[in-house]
Amino acid sequence: MNKIEVENLTVRYKDGGRAFTALENVSFAVEEGQFVGVIGSSGCGKSTLLSVLGGLRPPSSGRAAVNGDPISGPGPGWSMVFQHYSLFPWMTVLDNVTYGIRQVKKGLARGEMVRLAESFLEKVGLDGFKRKFPEQLSGGMRQRAAIARSLAMDTEILLMDEPFGAVDAKNRTYLQELLLKLWEGAGPDELVVPLDYPVARGKRKTIIFVTHDIDEAILMSDRIIMLTGSPGKVYKDIHVPFARPRKRAVLIQTPEYTRLRNELFALFFNDFGSDI
Ligand SMILES: Nc1ncnc2c1ncn2[C@@H]1O[C@H](COP(=O)(O)OP(=O)(O)O)[C@@H](O)[C@H]1O
Ligand SMILES: [Mg+2]
């Protein structure tokens, strides 16, 4: 079943007196449980696409639907993680996560929300930092908190806009693997941080993951949608055939990985010249 359907989506911004077309006739469908990477150079409309999928911006024309229904505003069915500003600076880490849970599980008792928030902070290794404010944490820790919030909300769809873009290389690798393991529903023995994430295999969340890092896109995605600007259009839709669970260190040594990586770089340069 298609979880997300985008048909001839066009988004125009009013830029002063003039209209600027950020996305034009973008169409694709995403199956339930698919992990979709979206790549493209800066300004090609990736964030615009996510804002439409998150119900933050209506299409100028065309259609974007979740579960067959047109998206009409931010709903309880999805959560978002951004590169910056993901956490409210005036709330502690714990309150940030609890706030997220409250948005989607209004009926839950306060104590239950806190317990749930704490369990997810533990999963991402932030147990000792829950009373801190975002500014007291490193960039990597902040993104771990944002991921914890997003996963604690337990929505069917996760929209992630360059979530690891501001994180150093080592933490980025850690976070990529953590997110994959959580999404894959790995058992506690398979994780760096012991986790008991309750999502069963085969009941995975649908993830739209924006990145401009080709290696990250390959490691994470079932499929990569490459956008071209401007206006933003779908340039290529590429299947990523590697089995899961994936181990970065193993995957990057295979000839199949190198072949796909070279192909993606060639497409990227072909389309964007040297502007990555
Ligand atoms: N609120 C806005 N008003 C006018 N133009 C915008 C607005 N937001 C984004 N744009 C323009 O739309 C294009 C796509 O932006 P964006 O979706 O942020 O791209 P990306 O995330 O791929 O870098 C860019 O040229 C950007 O300058
Ligand atoms: Mg962006």
CATH of the domain at 55: 3.40.50.300
Query: What does the radius of gyration of the chain's CA atoms come to, in whole angstroms?
Result: 19
Query: Helices then strands (H, E): number in the chain?
Result: 8, 10
pLDDT in the model for residue 40: 92
Does residue 213 belong to any structural domain of this protein? yes
pLDDT of residue 85: 60
Task: Provide block-wise average pLDDT over 10 residues at a time, the chain (276 residues).
Answer: 95 88 97 95 93 94 94 80 80 96 88 92 90 92 88 87 84 85 63 44 82 94 93 95 88 95 89 50
Residue 122 in domain: yes
Ligand 1: which residue has its CA nearest to atom 14? 45
The pairing of strands 69-70 and 61-66 is antiparallel
Residue 108: inside a domain = yes
Q: How far is the CA of 151 from the centre of ligand 2 (A)?
A: 22
Tell me the C-alpha distance between 139 and 70, whole Å: 35
In a domain, 13, yes or no: no
77 domain-assigned: yes
**Total tally of structural domains belonging to the chain:** 1
Domain of 50 in residue numbering reads as 31-60+68-272
> Is residue 4, in this structure, part of any structural domain at all?
no
pLDDT value of position 195: 43
- Quote the ligand 1 centre to 26 CA distance (angstroms): 15
| Distance from Cα 175 to the centre of ligand 1, integer Å | 27
Residue 6 within a domain: no
Q: Report the separation in Å between the CA atom of 22 and the middle of ligand 1, taken as the mean of its atom positions.
A: 6
The 3-state DSSP class for residue 15 equals strand
Instruction: List Cα–Cα distances, 191 to 148, 151, 197, 213, in angstroms.
Output: 15, 16, 10, 24
For residue 41, the ligand 1 atom closest to its alpha carbon is: 22
Q: From the CB of 57, is ligand 1 less than 6 Å away? A: no
In a domain, 113, yes or no: yes
Ligand 1 atom with the smallest distance to the CA of 42 is 23
